[in-house]
Amino acid sequence: MDHVSYRARTEQPRDNRSHADIDASLRWEEFQQPVTIRNISIYGALLIGGWLPPVGKKVTLVAGGLEIEGTVIWEGPDRCGLLLSHAVDPDAFIEDARLMQDTAPIITLQRVGQNRYA
């Protein structure tokens, strides 16, 4: 079995983080969990959510139709840190995710019978 360990980068300054507060979802294995992207940098993101995967888990972050893979590198009670699989432009990611969320179609359901909607 492979062993993977992660170490905090205390000797290097953190990448500049861009404040985001974007609704998203996190997918891993057969799970999908709503999260909020609190902030994002070129190689990482801080996610807030109720139930999050453990450290080392490979995940897919989905925001407004954008998808990026990453690995959970730390976890807390309601948050986790994600190391992105490739570099992103944080400001462009935020703008694109917000634009795609704003243009998502609104679906209205109508009751057509008892416990039936269309």
CATH no. of 18-102: 2.40.10.220
Residue with tokens 């954008």, as numbered in its chain: 66
- Residue 94 or residue 27, greater confidence: 27
**pTM, to two decimals:** 0.72
pLDDT in tens, 73-98: 999 999 999 999 999 998 888 888 88
Token representation of residue 8: 């905090």
Q: Per DSSP, what are the bridge partners of residue 39? A: 19, 46
Over the chain, what is the mean pLDDT? 83
Boundaries of every domain in the chain: 18-102
pLDDT at 103 exceeding the cut of 80: no
Closest CA to 14 of 38, 35, 37, 45: 45
